[in-house]
Amino acid sequence: MTTRPLTRYDRSMLRLMNDRRSRPLYATAARRRLAVAAHVLLTAATGGLMTYSFLAEGQPVWALVVIAALLLPWMIATGAINAATRGLLELRERALDERQSAERARVRARAHQAMTLLLAATAASLLTAGAVDGHAPTAYAAPVLIAVLVVHWLMPLWVAGLTAQDEPEEA
């Protein structure tokens, strides 16, 4: 931790992120991978439904209802990943020790590398689709850019969840 004192917010977030009641959700590497996979799938489903709402003719109210229903399991999966990493990405820097700060930097570096590859693949896909069609797929450009932005925002969380180590057994 840094020399700056923790605020009341920092202490409450530290308590929340270190609460062991949800430990069964992420106790093993397989469960953490499952939580990340569920989070990715729920994010993709929500993004797909939002894209459908954006591109569909008429008023697809059912898509918004399904998005609202997917929000609770998405939040639970987010909480499980945050708890598995003990708030590695949610806590302020002053609430982390040196090991956690170094781990945060490693996670962000890996996420940056993954995002670079994803952005390159997305750009290549859009350029290829435009070359095949003879024009750029403008109707899909905004949803694709929003999807990439969402993945950019969530990639550190997914990387942290996938690279989190098992906690030592209590004696």
DSSP tag of 167: P
16-25, 27-36, 109-118: least confidently modelled range: 16-25
Percent of the chain with pLDDT over 70: 95
CB 95 within 8 A of CB 14: yes
Grade residue 46 by pLDDT with cuts at 50, 70 and 90. very high
Q: Is the dihedral of CA 84, 90, 94, 100 positive or negative?
A: positive
